[in-house]
Structure 1
Amino acid sequence: MKIVMVLVLIQVCWRCAEAHPLDPLTPSELNLVRTIITNSYPTSSSSNLTFQHVALDEPDKPQILSWLSSKSRAPSLPPRRAFVIARFQKQSLEMTVDLSTRSIISTRVYKGHGFPTLTFVEQGLVSQLPFSYEPFKDSLNKRALNMSQVVCAAFTVGWFGEEKTKRTVKVKCYYTNGTANLYARPLEGVAMVADLDDMRILSFSDRFGIPVPKGEGTEYRLSNLKPPFGPKLNGVNVTQPHRPGFTIDGHSVSWGNWKFHLGFDFQVGAIISLASIYDIEKQRYREVLYRGFISEVFVPYQDPTEEWYYTTYFDCGEYGFGQSASSLEPLTDCPPNAHFLDAFYADANGNPVKITNAFCIFEKHAGDIMWRHTEIAIPNQVITEVRADVSLVVRMVSTVGNYDYVIDWEFKPSGSIKFGVGLTGILGMKGGTYINTDQIKGEIDIHGTLLSDNTIDSESQRSQDP
């Protein structure tokens, strides 16, 4: 009963809090942005408008600091503005929208290299193109595959110095017969390039002869797994009899000697702002971090073959860590003492989309030691002092394709912030002609590791820029 009451109190505080200039755009504000822009850019059969990225246009740092230092009990907020990247008539537009005046105050046509983040809507549409494309259907027939058990996905094509005029993606397909682990059964040798603006396939090739890997032994759903299983572990109970030690006021979080603002962005996901720690000696807060987020995760693969050479993904910029945020599962993604927060973004049509349980916040004590010392040099005394390493964690998980990124911001009483990106999920596998390693002779480079019959784990690396 005590736990229920605590959660209710936190929820009430979350909903009735005063506005903050760094708060992410609300659903009503996202709707207003859509209305303002669609009124200025009406769509038709020949001119389609899509919202690729809608975010808060943050006030300048001096404005934020001035607002924070105001002596007024209710200082006036800086103007609320939105930054929008949209596609209209095959052009990328960058717009600033003033929500108070309900007007577009700046528009720029982007002329540089690269294209906006892929939206889920266009990824879904382009992944359906192969099923009405006759050469692809012929490839399925040659392999005796059931089309109803084939799924396809869009992948960015990289950039290798060439001048691009079309917004294109690669389309790769997989066979799900016998397993939900679609990445273990690629249709290797089939390569397609599709135009996102025109929604049509531009090129197709099929290097027939590479078998589709078997599905046996690739299942990962616990309910479908068969013995032998791993060791059974006893559960660990997490309790806080004196209620959680943190408070949430809108998007502002306070814990111990820390306070900070938690924001959300379509592209980068979690944004930590204005992180400050209280200096007891000087009786004031000391600024530690003005603004922090994971700006990019670069994922290059080391495979020069036709189906893989282009795989040089930017998982934040091209796919959107915020858009790809997963709804966290209580008790498994986060411990029992966690509190969950939702997030919102605008889809390709400008409509608000709610991500339930996008964040969890919890106090962590894993039995680690922050500081200790045992002193035995003083005669007739043994002095032992220990400080437990307790921290506050803000967690978000983004799922991009076969990989799941666990993003943790960890605040420690010592004044440090620990930022971590954990990588889990499913291996990026490709099909091959080899059954065992004895067949791989001499100078043959399969650009990966042979996992099982006709299945290779493709080599890749990751680097993130927080």
Structure 2
Amino acid sequence: MEARNSWRFVLLLALVLLLTWLHLPSLPNSKFHSRWYIPKNTFYSSSPTYHHLESETPQHPLDPLTIQEFNRVRTILSSHPLFKSSSSYTLNSVVLEEPDKKLVLKWKKGDPPLPRKASVVAVVKRVSHVLTVDLEIGHVTSHETGLVSGYPMVTERDLYGVGEATLRCPEFNNSLAKRGLNLDDLVCLSLSSGGYEKLEEEENRRLMKVQCFSKEGTVNFYMKPIEGFTALVDIDSKEVLAVSDDGKNIPVANASNTDYRYSIQKLRGEMRLLNPISLEQPKGPSFSVDGHMVKWANWEFHLRPDPRAGIIISQVKVRDPDTSMLRNVMYKGFVSELFVPYMDPTEDWYFRTYIDAGEYGLQSMPLNPLNDCPRNAYYMDGVFASYDGTPYLQPNMICIFESYAGDIAWRHAEATVASLNVSEARPKVTLVVRMAAILENYDYIMDWEFQTDGLIRAKVGLSGILMVKGTTYENMDQVNLKRQETAPGESPRKSYLKAVRKVAKTEKDAQIRLQLYEPYEFHVVNPLKKTKVGNPVGYKLVPGATAGSLLDPEDLPQKRAAFTNNQIWVTPYNKSEQWAGGLLAYQSKGDDTLQVWSNRDRGIENKDIVLWYTIGFHHIPCQEDYPIMPTVSSSFDLKPVNFFERNPILAVPPNFEEDLPASKAHDSA
């Protein structure tokens, strides 16, 4: 099969500030509401080890909406004129509308609760509406429409409705029948149209493309596409507008060697199986979860599930070992957007330029205990709203666990002076918050990792299945390091590095494309607070491996995903600027993006700022990606720089044998 490229970009948004065991009434299960659940293809199931169920009483201003609050939103909306006048509407998003940042920062445990509000995005009669519902007074207090181009995330009803519409279409069924295909073996997927409206009659419609696959002989139906066969469907009217069938001569691949399930694999003699590995904690875990507040070692933060971002980490604080005070590090961090443009311009592929978070959302399927997360993990469920506002349960959506891979936090042994018998080492243990989002054939593993030395690592792992034709995917302060030349006779050295400080004063100053031979360090500092030595306290962004977009800036997909134009952006804090691809990303035209906001070139020096970082992958398919792709990962770090007076983990104790569970030594030990 011909291999084609595509790109994949993940934008992680961090608002950097420098300065539960509960029970619910029975809820519908997520498998009936997930955007990618296929009733005939539930390939595996697992029993969760723990459950976190949403509280009926919010304990923190940033806690997600409860079941009672979701139901109250439904009641309030049912009496609103917009919904009373139409029986045809969809609630595409119902989430907490966060209180003002200043109020959240001032709030302390034990204070009266802040007013609770819900943010609702709905489509009514083909028009997008953004509403604020005040849950205390029981009214809609804000209602806006026509703000920007585009539509909100599609719902499970949208996806199923489009699929059912094609199956009722005679032209669609006749074309499949002419190919001699068994309709019972078909799996048809509803795909974003990419914002392309080629004909006048397609304008002002929410559109989806439908493409089909055969699952005959395999669960890996992505390897058996019905190539050259695409339907265009109006999401709202359920009308099939066009059927393209130009691949009649392209055969459907056979199922040989496409199944990736363990039960199907044949173990070859030369394959040596690994003995199981498990992290044991005889004294129990070192972290605690109280509602949505997580405490571990010197860290404390708020954690909540979100249907669009997956995980939202808020009010991240670290304890200073010298003062014992909790210090603010990050107000809010989450995945803002994903961009997946396929590199194939042909009729059945050109539109595949997905803005995954904004078009489908990153709410994950249940994590698989012992495999997605280790034995010592704690699981947190999510409760979300279906298309009509009915709350439903998303079990095991997030896991939290301590990780130890034998890494070293710090060490030193003294060998220079014989009389100094010094050998010190400390194990590195970290806390990981994880989710896995399944979007069609791709799986995204999102980790937030906290280290005791004050470092935060945001990591993205990519796995899943190739989409074959064959095509896969391709997926502030600056310290500028310049080479300096020495004067003749000044030193045996001919060159060295010298740090030169440059302050980004406006947004355009902070639009940065990383370049290997122009090294920088990127610091976010508080110039009003300094260490005893006199350095401004701060954190620095440490980029990992990444890639840039190669699309033409005027190409529609690139306009919609303009956040990939740079790896680093800094903007002044604005509560409304959260989604890098725009609030309404589906079929958007690129008029409400991070690029548009940043081009205003607002001042950022000595401001409350937002740091944006883009992780990019270029993936050229290879045989090792078949039939399922090994996970490939990239990350970036937020690392303290002059934030502490010294190494914050000097007092971390070493491991002692008597504190650990019994372990059988290797024969050669």
TM-score (norm 2): 0.61
Question: Kindly tell me: are residues 456 and 361 of structure 1, through their superposed partners in 2, closer, same or farther at Cα, counting changes over 3 Å?
Answer: closer
- Report the counterpart of residue 143 of structure 1 in structure 2: 179
Deviations, residues 211-246 of structure 1 (Å, cap 9, x unaligned): 111111101122233343843110012210111101
Question: Kindly tell me: are residues 365 and 233 of structure 1, through their superposed partners in 2, closer, same or farther at Cα, counting changes over 3 Å?
Answer: same
Instruction: Determine which of 234, 249, 252 is the counterpart of 1:209.
Output: 249
- Report the counterpart of residue 92 of structure 1 in structure 2: 128
Instruction: Determine which of 77, 100, 117 is the counterpart of 1:60.
Output: 100
Question: Kindly tell me: are residues 449 and 142 of structure 1, through their superposed partners in 2, closer, same or farther at Cα, counting changes over 3 Å?
Answer: farther
Instruction: Determine which of 324, 344, 351 is the counterpart of 2:383.
Output: 344
- Report the counterpart of residue 20 of structure 1 in structure 2: 60
- Report the counterpart of residue 222 of structure 2 in structure 1: 183
Structure 1 segment 256-335 matched on structure 2, within 5 A: 256-322=297-363, 325-335=364-374
Bigger relative contact order, structure 1 or 2 (CA pairs below 8 A, ≥6 apart): 2
Question: Kindly tell me: are residues 19 and 387 of structure 1, through their superposed partners in 2, closer, same or farther at Cα, counting changes over 3 Å?
Answer: same
- Report the counterpart of residue 402 of structure 1 in structure 2: 441
Q: Retained in 1: the 8 A contact 2:54–2:381?
A: no
Question: Kindly tell me: are residues 245 and 276 of structure 1, through their superposed partners in 2, closer, same or farther at Cα, counting changes over 3 Å?
Answer: same
Question: Kindly tell me: are residues 450 and 413 of structure 1, through their superposed partners in 2, closer, same or farther at Cα, counting changes over 3 Å?
Answer: closer
Question: Kindly tell me: are residues 16 and 304 of structure 1, through their superposed partners in 2, closer, same or farther at Cα, counting changes over 3 Å?
Answer: closer
Amino acid aligned to 2:390:
N
Mean Cα displacement is larger for which, 128-137 or 188-197?
A: 128-137
Q: Per-residue deviation at 1:395? A: 0.8
Instruction: Determine which of 113, 118, 140 is the counterpart of 2:149.
Output: 113
- Report the counterpart of residue 39 of structure 1 in structure 2: 79
- Cα distance in 1 for partners of 2:430, 2:361 equals 28
Question: Kindly tell me: are residues 216 and 20 of structure 1, through their superposed partners in 2, closer, same or farther at Cα, counting changes over 3 Å?
Answer: same
Structure 1 residue ranges without an equivalent (≥5): 1-9, 433-446
Instruction: Determine which of 230, 244, 248 is the counterpart of 2:289.
Output: 248
Q: Per-residue deviation at 1:450? A: 8.5
Amino acid aligned to 2:117:
R
- Cα distance in 1 for partners of 2:197, 2:161 equals 28
Deviations, residues 137-195 of structure 1 (Å, cap 9, x unaligned): 22222221100111111111113597941110111111111111111111100011110
- Cα distance in 1 for partners of 2:635, 2:346 equals 25
Structure 2 residue ranges without an equivalent (≥5): 1-49, 472-618, 638-669
Amino acid aligned to 2:80:
S
- Report the counterpart of residue 4 of structure 1 in structure 2: none
Question: Kindly tell me: are residues 181 and 397 of structure 1, through their superposed partners in 2, closer, same or farther at Cα, counting changes over 3 Å?
Answer: same
Q: Retained in 1: the 8 A contact 2:192–2:359?
A: yes
Question: Kindly tell me: are residues 350 and 17 of structure 1, through their superposed partners in 2, closer, same or farther at Cα, counting changes over 3 Å?
Answer: closer
- Cα distance in 2 for partners of 1:381, 1:464 equals 40
Q: Per-residue deviation at 1:282? A: 2.3
Mean Cα displacement is larger for which, 325-334 or 108-117?
A: 108-117
Q: Retained in 1: the 8 A contact 2:459–2:633?
A: no
Structure 1 segment 420-439 matched on structure 2, within 5 A: 420-430=459-469
Q: Per-residue deviation at 1:372? A: 1.4
- Report the counterpart of residue 83 of structure 1 in structure 2: 119
- Cα distance in 2 for partners of 1:109, 1:370 equals 52
- Cα distance in 1 for partners of 2:83, 2:99 equals 31
Question: Kindly tell me: are residues 261 and 449 of structure 1, through their superposed partners in 2, closer, same or farther at Cα, counting changes over 3 Å?
Answer: closer
Question: Kindly tell me: are residues 35 and 115 of structure 1, through their superposed partners in 2, closer, same or farther at Cα, counting changes over 3 Å?
Answer: same
Say yes or no: does 1:168 pair with 2:207.
yes
Q: Per-residue deviation at 1:449? A: 5.6
Instruction: Among all aligned residue pairs of Structure 1 and Structure 2, give the percentage whose two residues are the same amino acid.
Output: 40
Question: Kindly tell me: are residues 167 and 456 of structure 1, through their superposed partners in 2, closer, same or farther at Cα, counting changes over 3 Å?
Answer: farther
Which secondary structure does the structure 2 equivalent of 1:422 belong to? strand
Which secondary structure does the structure 2 equivalent of 1:295 belong to? strand
Amino acid aligned to 1:321:
L
Question: Kindly tell me: are residues 219 and 46 of structure 1, through their superposed partners in 2, closer, same or farther at Cα, counting changes over 3 Å?
Answer: same
Q: Per-residue deviation at 1:320? A: 0.4
Which secondary structure does the structure 1 equivalent of 2:102 belong to? helix
Q: Per-residue deviation at 1:451? A: 6.2
Q: Per-residue deviation at 1:353? A: 1.3
Structure 1 segment 363-374 matched on structure 2, within 5 A: 363-374=402-413
Which secondary structure does the structure 2 equivalent of 1:430 belong to? coil
- Cα distance in 1 for partners of 2:335, 2:374 equals 24
Which secondary structure does the structure 2 equivalent of 1:294 belong to? strand
Say yes or no: does 1:237 pair with 2:278.
yes
Amino acid aligned to 1:153:
L
What is the RMSD of the two structures over their aligned residues, measured on CA atoms? 2.9
Question: Kindly tell me: are residues 101 and 63 of structure 1, through their superposed partners in 2, closer, same or farther at Cα, counting changes over 3 Å?
Answer: same
Amino acid aligned to 1:167:
R
Amino acid aligned to 2:67:
P
Q: Per-residue deviation at 1:341? A: 1.0
Question: Kindly tell me: are residues 161 and 138 of structure 1, through their superposed partners in 2, closer, same or farther at Cα, counting changes over 3 Å?
Answer: closer
- Cα distance in 2 for partners of 1:16, 1:113 equals 36
